[in-house]
Structure 1
C-alpha cells in the first residue's frame, strides 16, 4: 500500500519509536494522528509534522474507541495503524522476602498487550467499513513486540509475556482480517535508543551494546520507522513477527 495520501494513527507517538514513525509517515505524505498518554509530548511532535494529537490511555478500551474515531475524523479514511505505546516495568516473579509482582504483571499486560489489542480492534473495525484500494487492501496494522518475546531476561516475565502475546496475535489476526483486505504484522525490536534506555548509566549501556552483533550499536528509532513503512508498502508481508535486532540475543541477565 502506498503511504502518500493515507490516513494513519500512531500510538505512543509522543516519543521514541512512535515519534520516529509518525514523522516518517508524515514525511511520506500520510495524514497522521498521534495517540499518546502524554498529551504534551504528542502535541510537540504533532506540531512539527502537521499532525493531530490525541490523549488516550490505550489500556482503556472505551477511551481507545473514542480516540480512534476522533483520529479517523481528523485524518480521513484510516488505512494505517501503528501501535508503539508500551511500558517496560521489570520485577521478579518472586522477589525478596517472597514478595510477588502480580501488580507489575497486570499493569504491563494492560498497557502492552491489552492496549495493542484495543487499538487493533478499533482500527480494524473502521478499516472494514472503507472501500478497498486498487490492490484490494483496506488497511495495514503494525504492532510492536520485542526480542524479549523470545529472549526474556530475569525480571522480564511480565514484559516478555506481554510482547509474546503481541507476536502471537499476528497470524490469527491476519487470518481473521484477510477477507477484509487488512494485513497485520508485528515488529520485534531489539535494543533501541529510546527514552527507556536513556536513563541507564553509561556502563550499563556499554554492557548492553557489547551483546549486539552488527552494527554494534543501539538501534535508531528511525530504523524502526523505516521497517514500519516497509511493512505498509510491501503487500506480501502479513501474519508474521519480524525481529529488528542486529542479530543480538539477550543473555539471561
Structure 2
C-alpha cells in the first residue's frame, strides 16, 4: 500500500509501541489519529509532531470514541490503516497458590476486555469504514495490524490470563482476514517479545528477560515494532500472518520465580 495521502487510527498511540508507530507513519506521509485515554501524553506527541496528527481521548471498547477517531482520520486522508497497540500486563498469580487461594476470574475478564474486545472493536468499525475506499491495483482498501505477544505461544507461570488473551488475538487473525478479504482488507499481527518501553522499566526484569533472547542480545526497541508495522502495511502480499518480533526468544516457564516479581 502506498502511504502518501493515507490516514490511520493508532489505538494506544500515546504509549511506547503506539507512539513509535505514530512517529513512523507520520514520517511516511500518513495522517494519524491517536486513540488513547491518556490525553496528556497524546497531546505531547501532537505538539512534537505537528500537523496531520490528532487525538481522540478514549478506549477502543467505546464505540463512540472509535467512531470519532475514524471520523477525524477521514479528515486527514484516506482512512486505510488501523493499528491496535494497546495493552499492559495485568498482574496475576498462579491459578491456585500454595496457600490454596484461587485466582479471581475477574482478572481473566479484564485481560479479555483490554487485549481482545478492544482490538476486535477497532477492527470491525475500521473495516466498515474501509469498505467505502476506492481499491488500489491489488484490490485492497485497508490494513489492520493487531498486537499479540510471544506469551500467546510460550506463556509463563502466573500469566494464564494474559497468555489466554493474547492467544485469542492470534486465533482471530486468520478468520478475520478471511472475513474481510472480499472487501480488500488485510489483517496481520505482531507478536512482540521483550520490548524496552516505560512499562518494562525494572532493571531486574529486563536482565531476566534478556536471558531468553538469542540474538541480538538486548531488549527490542519500540522503533523496531513500528518498522514492522510499516512493512506489514506496505507489503500487499502479507495477510493473515502473526509475526514474532523477539530476537528468537523462547520464554522460560518461571519468569516470576526467577525475577522475584510479577511482570
Q: Give TM-score, length-normalised by structure 1.
A: 0.94
8 Å Cα contact 1:144/1:187 also seen in 2: yes
Give matches, 1:86-235, under 5 Å.
86-91=87-92, 92-95=94-97, 96-198=99-201, 200=202, 202-235=203-236
String of CA shifts for 1:72-109, please: whole Å, max 9, x gaps: 34323210111001121131223454232212111111
8 Å Cα contact 1:9/1:81 also seen in 2: yes
Stretches of structure 1 that go unaligned for 5 or more consecutive residues are none
Partners of 1:59 and 1:176 lie apart in 2 by 21
Secondary structure of 1:195's partner? coil
Residue in 2 that maps onto 1:238? 239
Partners of 1:39 and 1:114 lie apart in 2 by 21
Partners of 2:96 and 2:39 lie apart in 1 by 35
CA apart distance, 1:64: 4.0
Partners of 1:40 and 1:4 lie apart in 2 by 28
Secondary structure of 1:54's partner? strand
CA apart distance, 1:59: 2.7
8 Å Cα contact 1:56/1:67 also seen in 2: no
Q: Does 1:29 align with 2:32?
A: no
Secondary structure of 1:197's partner? coil
Stretches of structure 2 that go unaligned for 5 or more consecutive residues are 255-263
Question: Bigger CA drift: 95-104 or 238-247?
Answer: 95-104
CA apart distance, 1:161: 1.0
Partners of 1:89 and 1:37 lie apart in 2 by 17
CA apart distance, 1:113: 0.4
Q: Does 1:9 align with 2:12?
A: no
Secondary structure of 2:209's partner? helix
CA apart distance, 1:9: 1.0
Residue in 2 that maps onto 1:55? 57
Secondary structure of 2:196's partner? coil
The CA RMSD measured in Å over matched residues stands at 1.4
